[in-house]
Amino acid sequence: MHINNLIKNLFRPQFSFHLNRFNQLLTVSSILLLATQGYISKPTAEESFEAYDEAVPGTSFSLEMLPIPGGSFMMGSPESEENRQDDEGPQVEIMVDPFWMGKYEIPWDVYEVFMFQELEKRYAEENGGLDAAKIPSVDAVSRPTPPYLDMSFNMGKYGYPAICMTQYAASQFCKWLSAKTGHYYRLPTEAEWEYACRAGTTTAYSFGDDVSQLDEYAWHYGNTNGGYEKIGTKKPNPWGLHDMHGNIAEWTLDQYNPAYYASLDKATSKNPWNEPTELYPRAARGGTYDDDPEMLRSAARLGSNPNWKIHDPQIPKSRWWLTNARWVGIRLVRPQVAPAEEVQNKYWINFIEDI
Amino acid sequence: MNKNLTMNRRKFVRNSAVAAAGGGLLISQLPVEASAYVRGNETIKVAVIGCGGRGTGAASQAMSVDQDVKLVAMCDAFRDRLDKCYDNLTQKHGESGRIDVPEENKFVGFEGYKDAIALADVVILTTPPGFRPIHFEEAVNAGKHVFMEKPVATDAPGVRKVLEVAKKAKEKDLNVVVGLQRHYQPSYLALMERIHNGEIGDIVGGQVYWNSSGVWVRPREEGQTEMEYQMRNWYYFNWLCGDHILEQHIHNIDVANWAKQAYPTMAQGMGGREVRTGPDHGEIFDHHFVEFHYGDGTMINSQCRHIEGCMNKVAESFVGTKGRATTDGKTEITDLKGNTIWSHRSKNDANPYQIEHDRLFETIANGGELLADAENGAKSTMTAILGRMATYSGKVVTWDEALNSNVSLMPETFAFDAQPPIVPDENGLYPVPTPGKTKVISTKQSQ
């Protein structure tokens, strides 16, 4: 649904028998009719293209967004690059349109508001009231089932990156945030991610080729203690983005295909997106605290696989949680020009049952 | 060594004539029942009793082993659950030819388990835990090997039944695997080997946790009988589930027993319902905190909570006279100053849920040491029930009085039009235990 319709639909009166996750009847008063004030006009290209803070309505949290100018770059790595893998080539010239990107990975603080509608309400009462919080109704945006385990695995919660969500869950988070803010958020494509990570550089890392500098910019296996670290505690890349290399890998929107670059031509190399049709593998980027330096390179690619849910004993497996991908999370993008209605939903990807 | 060393097993090994280290029971005599799988035979036939998410998962793992296996029968109280399970298994394993369940081998209702068990060599018991003693008894009496999920009962009479049947299973050389999968998980096996080798000295204390944000709720639907509603929303009724201290937290409590190589002698604790207080939350608590006292004076604290927005943790930590062992975040052993002595990187560890079935079917097919998890499964079930008795009553409860209690939670009659053992008041609310008042022990002979 179009973002404007989404916003309108969030607050449809619901007289049917609706239950929240605690199975208390959602009263009509808790599904406030905000259509009158919930309309936020679509961002346009005329809107100033600068850094901004997106306050998450009904909370004390805000998300810093940085402008990433459109342009072209060579995606992939040259054959001369040390530790290069075959899936990083052939290099191909790509053009991307401008977008804003999250300065940081999404922390648990904000992800939990999406996870737990009760928590969202509680925060709202302390931060401007339920009306202003623009809480999406349960049938406008799906929310995660409660995880059976503690998905931070005791590595830290507040100020630390949210992890273990499926690509679908990450995408639904974007939809939820879009509904609340009226701005169109989604995951980056692999091309957008690499473009932003390189920030104009052509070297293995956005600070150059010298691995000895990696510790200044990134958390990886060699300088962590078996877990992630707080977001934004290392130096940013030239465009001001933190933790693009390491800490946690970040979901992109693509089906992972090692031969994808070879398939691109002049026509398809503008804003390319390998739209997913299969549950596995999907592409995550950036490398993690559990990886060695070569996986943190700008061009390095990672495809998901069923082992990311190895400790999920049920069938169908959770559509929301990856019990064993304890190093994959979310970084948002917002296209400078929000796409057309039919495209918006496509980028919030559909769910495929995991049997 | 991948062994589930229960106290009893260790004693048996020590006291038996089998001198070889690690030598246990060998399959010497096969049961003579016609229905039992005989090694060297062709296909191993499998039945699944309880076709929910976990039942489907376990059946899928059974269908993924190296041996020649076939799913031949299914049973569930509900047709829709059975159908969904069948569809998912067919989608996943249909091409292998291993799903072979004709309509007449799909059994629906409370009694179907008998027919399903009769058709198989191995049965998977994955209904809500309250039914486990009944199903386990039927399976062993019929001479079948068993995979059963934890917990294995919800009350003391059920535990005693499982202990009795566990003996019978051993006598009949029937393999029994219980889904306390940490016993099959490489990181835990490595840690326990070190603990049992004395690397942290004698264990003098510990903490075990399952603090999380809770599980699903299945709201009441139009036209359901009370029995059907409780069967669907089973997590919140003790005769079916046993409360989350048992249904989930048993994993961590069992790890405490495993580390100590003992079972507690008494428990005391506190708990209640702080947040989950609605009509759809049945009778169970949403938090428990229990001291488990072991015979040597060691006290291990257990906490479990199902409340959103709180500190969450699923882990175990033990303090010994020489060091500490923990699975909290990382699986590691430290000295008493906190320096890491050893840690386990589980990046490429195999799936413990799959290992359970690999070992079960491998042993059935090729012989080797009998898998006999039921006794420890029953005693760890009893430990968690002991904790529940302590929090519900607010009293000190000893192991012996708990195990010998005649308080049965189960219904008299299993039928969708029968009355469950607990029913709601006019507001739809169920009676909830009150510490200081609730009686959890009865030694009166019930008829």
User: Which of A146, A150, A154 has the CB atom closest to B215's CB atom?
Assistant: A146
Q: Does A314 touch chain B (CB under 8 A)?
A: yes
Q: For residue B25, is pLDDT > 80?
A: no
Query: Between chains, do B91 and A311 touch, taking CB under 8 Å as contact?
Result: no
Number of CB pairs < 8 Å for A and B? 87
Please state the φ and ψ torsions of residue B228, each to the nearest 5 degrees.
Answer: -65, -45
Which residue in chain B is spatially nearest to A290 when comparing CA positions?
A: B347
Q: For residue B214, is pLDDT > 50?
A: yes
pLDDT at B8: 36
> B137-147 pLDDT, tens per residue?
999 999 999 99
pLDDT at B40: 59
pLDDT at B64: 97
Burial of B72 (0-12, 13-18, 19+ CB in 10 A): buried
What distance in Å separates residue A225's CA from the closest CA in chain B? Answer: 9
Q: Does A148 touch chain B (CB under 8 A)?
A: yes
Burial of B103 (0-12, 13-18, 19+ CB in 10 A): exposed
Which chain B residues are closer than 8 Å to A120 by Cβ?
Answer: none
Query: Between chains, do A311 and B351 touch, taking CB under 8 Å as contact?
Result: yes
Which chain B residues are closer than 8 Å to A221 by Cβ?
Answer: none
Name the nearest CA neighbour of A301 among A76, A101, A73. A76
> Which residue is listed with tokens 């809480």?
A135
CA distance A266 to A92: 10
Calculated CA dihedral for residues B29, B32, B33, B38, nearest 10 degrees = 60
CA distance A67 to A65: 7
User: Which of A24, A122, A147 has the CB atom closest to B212's CB atom?
Assistant: A147
pLDDT at B238: 98
CA distance A215 to B352: 35
Query: Between chains, do A311 and B353 touch, taking CB under 8 Å as contact?
Result: yes
| pTM: predicted TM-score of the whole model, two decimal places | 0.88
CA distance B258 to B208: 12
List the 23-42 stretch of A: residues with Cβ below 8 A of B: 23-24
Question: By the 8 A CB rule, do B207 and B313 touch?
Answer: no
What distance in Å separates residue A50's CA from the closest CA in chain B? Answer: 35
* Average predicted confidence (pLDDT) for chain B: 91
CA distance A91 to A85: 12
Q: What is the largest distance, in Å, between two alpha-carbon atoms of chain B?
A: 64
CA A280 from chain centre, in angstroms, equals 18
Which residue in chain A is spatially nearest to B276 when comparing CA positions?
A: A22
DSSP codes, B224-257:
--HHHHHHHTGGG-TTTT--HHHHTTHHHHHHHH
User: Which of B214, B329, B351 has the CB atom closest to A154's CB atom?
Assistant: B329
Q: How many CA atoms lie within 13 A of B86 on its CB side?
A: 20
pLDDT at A8: 59
CA distance A136 to A140: 6
pLDDT at A137: 87
User: Which of A115, A118, A315 has the CB atom closest to B57's CB atom?
Assistant: A315
Query: Between chains, do A147 and B213 touch, taking CB under 8 Å as contact?
Result: yes
Q: Does A147 touch chain B (CB under 8 A)?
A: yes
**How confident is residue B329, by pLDDT bands cut at 50, 70 and 90?**
confident
Q: Does A230 touch chain B (CB under 8 A)?
A: no
Q: Does A21 touch chain B (CB under 8 A)?
A: yes
CA distance A116 to B423: 30
Which chain B residues are closer than 8 Å to A158 by Cβ?
Answer: none
> Which residue is listed with tokens 């976990």?
B54
pLDDT in tens, chain A (355 residues): 566 666 655 554 443 333 333 333 333 333 332 222 333 334 454 568 999 999 999 999 999 999 999 999 999 999 999 999 999 999 999 999 999 999 999 999 999 999 999 899 999 999 999 999 999 988 889 999 989 988 999 899 999 999 999 999 999 999 999 999 999 999 999 999 999 999 999 999 999 999 999 999 999 999 998 899 999 999 999 999 999 999 999 999 999 999 999 999 988 999 999 999 999 999 999 999 999 999 999 999 999 999 999 999 999 999 999 999 999 999 999 999 999 988 899 999 999 999 9
What distance in Å separates residue A4's CA from the closest CA in chain B? Answer: 31
CA distance A2 to A21: 26
Question: By the 8 A CB rule, do A137 and A14 touch?
Answer: yes
pLDDT at B37: 64
Name the nearest CA neighbour of A251 among A284, A211, A217. A284
**How confident is residue B33, by pLDDT bands cut at 50, 70 and 90?**
very low
Query: Roughly how many angstroms between the first and final C-alpha of chain A, as a whole number?
Result: 28
Reported residue count of chain A is: 355
Q: For residue B6, is pLDDT > 60?
A: no
Which residue in chain B is spatially nearest to A323 when comparing CA positions?
A: B351
Lowest mean pLDDT among A334-348, B88-102, B288-302: A334-348
pLDDT at B30: 42
CA distance B262 to B296: 10
> Which residue is listed with tokens 């060594």?
B1
CA B31 from chain centre, in angstroms, equals 26
**Alpha carbon separation from B270 to A307, B315, B400 (Å, rounded):** 39, 20, 20
CA distance B59 to B99: 10
Q: For residue B265, is pLDDT > 70?
A: yes
CA distance A118 to A110: 14
pLDDT at B194: 98
Which residue in chain B is spatially nearest to A316 when comparing CA positions?
A: B53
pLDDT at A308: 96
Looking at this protein, which amino acid is placed at residue B149?
E
> A249-299 pLDDT, tens per residue?
999 999 999 999 999 998 899 999 999 999 999 999 999 999 999 999 999
Beta bridge partners of A107: A161
Tally Cβ neighbours within 10 Å of residue B186.
16
Which chain B residues are closer than 8 Å to A149 by Cβ?
Answer: 212, 312, 314
Which chain A residues are closer than 8 Å to B88 by Cβ?
Answer: 315-316, 355
Query: Between chains, do B92 and A315 touch, taking CB under 8 Å as contact?
Result: yes
Looking at this protein, which amino acid is placed at residue A215?
D
**Alpha carbon separation from A208 to A196, A204, B198 (Å, rounded):** 15, 6, 49
Q: Which of B63, B124, B210, B213 to mutate to probe the A interface, most A CBs <10 Å? A: B213
Tally Cβ neighbours within 10 Å of residue A214.
21
Name the nearest CA neighbour of A314 among B210, B66, B149, B316. B149
User: Which of B89, B248, B315 has the CB atom closest to A154's CB atom?
Assistant: B315
pLDDT at B209: 98
Calculated CA dihedral for residues A180, A185, A187, A193, nearest 10 degrees = -140
Q: For residue B442, is pLDDT > 90?
A: no
Question: By the 8 A CB rule, do B352 and B242 touch?
Answer: no
CA distance A341 to A347: 11
